[in-house]
Amino acid sequence: MKLKVCGMNHNPSKVAQLRPDYLGFIFWEPSARYFSGDMPKIPSQIKKVGVFVDTDQEYVLEKVSQHQLDAIQLHGKESAKYCQQLKNSFLSFRAPSRNLDIIKVFSIKDDFDFSILKDYEEVCDFYLFDTKGKLPGGNGYTFDWSVLEKYPSQKPYFLSGGIGLESIQDLQEFLSSPASKNCYAVDVNSKFESAPGLKSIEDLKTFIESLNSIRN
């Protein structure tokens, strides 16, 4: 079980010291966690994820190159064709030894039509399931994880949406259920903040310890 900490802004270097598997940087300007400026030095074993929402592919490629991103998270209504075009573009300027993953986000409230995933099976590396809300992400509350019992794919996915310290027990129960079979990573964000983009290191430490306990 991997861990992604998203919404990096004010203290990414301190969060990186905790050695999560992924750090997410939001490149959607309306977000309170919008990342601009220079990328801090991040240990190579931590994958840097750029989060985008319905933006021009040129902008995505610019940020990939500027910040040496390892993965792209598409949090809008991007089509499967868009994903394929991006993947083709990555191949044209990335070394074959450096893969750049595409994570496509789908939002869930009470139910979800999993047939939507069919067109994305060949063009995305991971899915991410988040809570449907007013914003593309960071809404701070969870969806009904039992919906994922109907997940028809073998593709690994990230579980996101309002996960915090109070979610540990529910997370443990979920990860012991059949619905979690293809759950590859847990994604956390707003529940670990004292302000948008400013993460609580102590709370993250506690969560990571609990997650490691569940893993073992």
Distance CA 182, CA 204 (A): 24
Whether residue 135 has pLDDT greater than 70: no
Whether residue 94 has pLDDT greater than 90: no
For position 142, what pLDDT does the model report?
Answer: 86
For position 156, what pLDDT does the model report?
Answer: 98
Structure tokens, 198? 């400013």
For position 200, what pLDDT does the model report?
Answer: 97
Domain ranges of the chain: 2-215
Give the model confidence (pLDDT) of 54-93 as tens digits.
Answer: 999 999 999 999 999 999 999 999 999 999 999 888 877 6
More confident residue, 173 or 134: 173
The percent of residues in the chain predicted with pLDDT above 90, rounded, is 82
Lowest mean pLDDT among 74-88, 127-141, 202-216: 127-141
Give the model confidence (pLDDT) of 166-177 as tens digits.
Answer: 999 999 999 999
For position 204, what pLDDT does the model report?
Answer: 97
- Please tell us whether the domain made up of 2-215 is placed in CATH 3.20.20.70: yes
Distance CA 192, CA 103 (A): 22
Give the model confidence (pLDDT) of 2-13 as tens digits.
Answer: 999 999 999 999
Please, where are the H alpha helices in the chain? 12-16, 57-67, 80-93, 168-175, 201-215
For position 110, what pLDDT does the model report?
Answer: 82
